[in-house]
Chains A and B, each alone.
Chain A
Amino acid sequence: MDAIILQILNGLDKGSAYALIALGLTLIFGTLGVVNFAHGALFMIGAFCAVTMNRLLTLSHEVLDPTKKDFLGNPLKVKTPYISEWFGPETGAALIDWAVPLSILLTIPVMIGIGFVMERGLIKHFYKRPHADQILVTFGLAIVLQEIIKYFYGANPIPTPAPDAFRGSFDFGVLLGFDANTIIYPYWRLVYFGFAAMIIGAVFAFLQFTTFGMVVRAGMADRETVGLLGINIDRRFTIMFGIAAAVAGLAGAMYAPINSPNYHMGMDFLVLSFVVVVVGGMGSLPGAVAAGFMLGVLESFASMNEIKSLIPGIDQIIIYLVAIIILLTRPRGLMGRKGVMEE
């Protein structure tokens, strides 16, 4: 029992990342009808927003401290981050410590901006072209974004720690009445799951309970009619693209402490997220979220030693296997709607 709960918990954080990326992909697909292969790159850029925030906060100027000497007798250079100078050393240290959560403030505007530029500058011209062309051009864009990040940040993973308060792990088992040390779970992963749940809830609430969301949903159902009613649906879809980019970026920024950002992390997630979208059903938002969590949990179950010894290698291929089975038995995916991307 405790092993099962542990695996479910383990699956949740990866599942959250899958669900968030898949949600963004589905938003773009449902509104604009574009298959966005660059979405993984957006996730990656989000993670690098966290890195950037960390670097911005630790920007410091060097002073030669005449009182201290290094072993050669030269005055020692002392680095003080600007931020501690402005707000005092304690607040400064705390701000630096909380760099990753603070990077949300940077990620949202940056990602929305990137989303707008991408949609207006590139994707707009591809609505009428075949899906293969859309895949190809966004694939090219993904390569370009990836290489730009590599140029500025290098090829090595950059460790980005979580705030001190969330480092380490806590004993989840005790809460549920198991023995101590049976279910140990890192705090940050729990935070990530909560954060993902919040974002998903926010996106759904936005679509469900605001006028803007209502118009967007109407546009997803029948774009032309909404346009005929005198609503500028293109502008709203552009905004939705920005939101989808922001969702992917936030997923990436908060994922940075779990997996040190490197320039090709987006590609690794992208393939899996596509599988998630297809399993959930093209164009279905709840399907994407459900499939994301489901596949994340399944993946962690498959990596249990008991199951691995039963079917060796299953942990590597479980997601693809499930995707193949679902695509062949339920062609529209778990919650796919009729008439969306049938062929």
Chain B
Amino acid sequence: MFGLDRKDASLLIVVAALTLLAPFILNPFPEGSSLAQFNAGYPDLMQRFVIFGIFAIGFNILFGLTGYLSFGHAAFLGVGSYSAVWMFKLLSMNVIPAIILAVIVSGLFAVVIGYVSLRRSGIYFSILTLAFAQMSFALAYSVLTPITNGETGLQITLNDPRILGVSQTAQGGIPVTNIFGLEMRSTYQLDVGPWLFQFNAGYYLCAAIMLVAFYVAIRIFRSPFGLTLRAVKSNQQRLNYTGMNAKPYTLAAFVISGMYAGLAGGLMASMDPLAGAERMQWTASGEVVLMTILGGAGTLIGPILGAGFIKYFENIFSKINDNVLHGWFSFLPDGLENFIVGILHPFIGKGWHLTLGILFMLVVIFLPGGLVEGGQRIARWMKRGKASKSSQNTNPAE
């Protein structure tokens, strides 16, 4: 199907089913129950899942395939956001031109930065990309204020021209982002018994784009181009000796992943039309690295898993507070309850980053393949358990 082999096609279908049914899947607990806070099926969070999914998929094309660790990818995200918001200011509130411009501008940006940075590899490459990203961040904050609106961040206002749209709505408000009239924020709510499911137009746009992006990533992974990129990762010198110049390939990978980041930035601005410089800071670049590694670099599904995992727990963990913990452990004797809550206290709420840092370290130390490798290990272990019970077949030595 679509030029994919069976395994990839089924992976794509599973991912498609999961994203399209996400409002159901992420909302397993009825409204008003004590577990309702674990629900993630509201539009804002679901949008972030898929947008950061796109960002991580793109980062994975560079890092997972070529092994070049970029520490400045957030710069492309920021550039994408800025160009999208400018499109909303100047042209119209339709998201399509905004997203297209975001991808193009970030792609151009990636060509320039990639051309320079890719002259070095290893840690030097990381530092060069970091330097470029910090430079963009500093410039966006200071000199480029006419374009970026500095610290306040770029926003749409009532007196923007918007040539193809309207400067303000009939009610005198700021128009909202839409796709040919369908507003991004419009949400259809479905009440089923105690459950409330929300179907958001913006989410489904992002989800559709993510599926396309994911499909393209699969094609890249399986193409001769992807194979060349893997060769760069495993042994660039040998690749050079076979008479192949690796540079155009790595540059192409860099630009593609920069465009993915720009796409994510454009979508982010489409969902909420503002852009700020802090999106370009190097901690934001670090976040996408965390997502990709946590999920499993170099695998197809890993980055999406990692993005979803981090964003979900960021939201949920930061919502848990001491009262909630007391609620959970109320069955214990008082002293023990207070003791356990006291121990857990640093890891929840505002301390979520501590949990994330520890988790990340554990993954890097014990599970270099990320969550995907963890899943594979469990699957292998289960299979082995079954196989030893049912069959006596011995595998031929390899």
What is A's interface to B at a CB cutoff of 8 Å?
35, 122, 125, 129, 131-133, 135-137, 139-144, 146-148, 151, 267, 271, 274-275, 278, 282, 312-313, 316-317, 320-321, 323-324, 327-328, 331, 341, 343
Q: Are B356 and A278 in contact (CB under 8 A)?
A: no
Provide the bound-state CA to CA distance between A236 and B131, in Å: 34
B-side contacts of A313, CB under 8 Å: 138-139, 142-144
Asked if B368 and A133 sit within 8 Å, CB to CB, the answer is yes
Tell me whether B238 is interfacial, beta carbon within 8 Å. Answer: no
Establish whether residues B134 and A320, one from each chain, have CB atoms under 8 Å apart when the complex forms. Answer: yes
Contacts of A331 in B (CB 8 A): 120, 124
Q: Which of B27-35, B94-102, B189-197, B358-366 contacts A (4 or more CB under 8 A)?
A: B358-366
Inter-chain contacts of B131 with A (CB < 8 A): 275, 320, 323-324
Q: In chain B, residues 162-213, which have Cβ atoms closer than 8 Å to a Cβ of chain A?
A: none
Known: A131-B122, A320-B134, A327-B127. 7 other contacts (CB 8 A): A132-B69, A135-B126, A137-B365, A143-B353, A313-B138, A313-B139, A316-B138
* Interchain nearest-CB distance for B110 vs A (Å): 16
How far apart sit A115 and B340, CA to CA, in the bound complex (Å)? 30
Question: B248 at the A/B interface (Cβ < 8 Å)?
Answer: no
What are the residues of chain B within 8 A of A35 when measuring CB–CB? 123
Q: With a CB–CB cut-off of 8 A, which chain B residues contact A321?
A: 135
Q: Identify the closest chain A residue to B362 (Cβ).
A: A140
Known: A313-B142, A316-B143. Is A133-B364 also a contact (CB below 8 A)?
A: yes
Please pick, from B121, B132, B358, B365, the residue contacting A144 in the complex, using a CB distance under 8 A. Answer: B358
User: Which of B132, B141, B360 touches A320 (beta carbons < 8 Å)?
Assistant: B132
Residues of B within 8 A of A (CB): 67, 69, 116, 119-124, 126-128, 130-132, 134-135, 138-139, 141-144, 282-283, 286, 289, 293, 346, 351, 353-354, 356-358, 360-361, 364-365, 368
Determine the chain B residues whose CB is within 8 A of the CB of A271 once the complex forms.
130, 134, 282
Considering the chains assembled together, what is the distance between the CA atoms of A122 and B141 in angstroms?
37
Q: Closest residue of chain A to B283, judged by CB?
A: A267
Given that A135-B123, A151-B351 are contacting pairs, would A317 and B364 also be in contact in the complex, using a CB cutoff of 8 Å? no
Q: A44: shortest Cβ distance to chain B, in Å? A: 14
Q: A143-B356, A144-B358 are known contacts. Are A324 and B116 too (CB-CB below 8 A)? A: yes
| A142 to B, closest residue via Cβ | B357
B134 touches A140 (CB 8 A): no
Taking CB atoms, residues of chain B closer than 8 Å to A136 are 289, 293, 360, 364
A240 to chain B, nearest CB (A): 20
Contact indicator B127/A323 (Cβ below 8 Å) = yes
How far is it, in angstroms, between the C-alpha of A137 and the C-alpha of B368 when the chains are bound?
10
Q: Would A140 and B360 count as touching, CB distance under 8 A?
A: yes
Among A135, A137, A147, A271, chain B packs the most CB atoms within 10 A around the CB of A147
Question: Smallest Cβ distance from B157 to chain A, in angstroms?
Answer: 25
Whose C-beta in chain A lies nearest to the C-beta of B356?
A: A143
Which of A141, A271, A275, A321 is the most central at the interface, judged by chain B CB atoms within 10 Å of its CB?
A271
Provide the bound-state CA to CA distance between A147 and B354, in Å. 5
B123 contacts A148, CB within 8 Å?
no
A267 to B71, CA, bound (A): 14
Instruction: Give the chain A neighbours of B360 by CB distance below 8 A.
Output: 136, 139-140, 143
**B67: contacting residue among A132, A143, A148, A274, CB under 8 A:** A132
Bound-state CA distance A331–B116 (Å) is 12
- The reply to whether B139 and A143 form a contact with Cβ atoms under 8 Å apart is no
**A-B residue pairs in contact (CB < 8 Å), sample of 13:** A129-B368, A131-B123, A132-B69, A135-B126, A139-B360, A141-B357, A143-B360, A271-B130, A271-B134, A313-B143, A321-B135, A323-B131, A343-B122
Which residue of A147, A312, A323 contacts B357 across the interface (Cβ within 8 Å)?
A147
* B361 and A144 contacting across the interface, CB-CB below 8 Å: yes
Cα separation A54 to B165 with both chains bound (whole Å): 61
Taking a contact as CB atoms under 8 Å apart, the answer to whether A151 and B354 are in contact is yes
Closest CB in chain A relative to B213 CB, distance in Å: 24
* CB-defined contacts of A324 to chain B, threshold 8 Å: 116, 128, 131-132
Q: How far is the CA of A53 from the CA of B130 in the complex (A)?
A: 35
Determine if A316 and B141 form an interchain contact, defined as CB atoms under 8 angstroms apart: yes
Residue from the list A125, A141, A275, A312 in contact with B127, Cβ < 8 A:
A275
Q: How far is the CA of A142 from the CA of B364 in the complex (A)?
A: 14
A321 CA to B135 CA in the complex, in Å? 8
In whole angstroms, what is the CA distance A341 to B127 when docked? 13
CB closest residue in chain B, given A270: B282
Contact A140 B122 (CB under 8 A): no
B residues in contact with A141, CB < 8 Å: 357, 361
Shortest Cβ distance from residue B277 to the other chain A in the assembled complex, whole angstroms: 11
Question: What residue in chain B is nearest A126 (Cβ atoms)?
Answer: B365
Q: From residue A37, how far is it (CB to closest CB) to chain B in Å?
A: 9
**Contact indicator A328/B353 (Cβ below 8 Å):** no
**Cα distance, A271 to B121, chains bound together (Å):** 18
9 nearest CB pairs, A to B: A313-B143, A143-B357, A316-B138, A147-B354, A140-B361, A144-B357, A320-B131, A140-B360, A320-B135
Are the C-beta atoms of B124 and A327 separated by less than 8 Å?
yes
Q: What residues of chain A lie closer than 8 Å to B141, measured between beta carbons?
A: 316
What distance in Å separates the Cβ of A268 from its nearest Cβ neighbour in chain B? 10
Cβ contacts under 8 Å, B357 to chain A: 140-144, 146-147
Q: A143-B353, A143-B360, A313-B143 are in contact. Are A135 and B134 (CB under 8 A)?
A: no
Return chain B residues, CB-CB under 8 Å to A146.
Answer: 353, 357
Q: How many whole Å from A176's CB to the nearest CB in chain B?
A: 33
Known: A133-B364, A151-B354, A313-B143. A139 touches B286 (CB 8 A): yes
Q: How far is the CA of A139 from the CA of B130 in the complex (A)?
A: 14
**Which residues from B are CB-within-8-Å of A282?**
123
Q: Which of B123, B138, B139, B365 contacts A341 (CB under 8 A)?
A: B123
Determine which residue in B124, B128, B132, B282 has the highest number of CB atoms from chain A within 10 A of its CB, and name it. Answer: B124
Contact B122 A137 (CB under 8 A): no
Given contacts A137-B364, A312-B143, contact A343 B121 (CB under 8 A): yes
Residues of B within 8 A of A140 (CB): 357-358, 360-361, 364
Contact A328:B69 (CB < 8 A) given known A135-B123, A144-B358: no
In whole angstroms, how far apart are the Cα atoms of A323 and B124 in the complex?
10
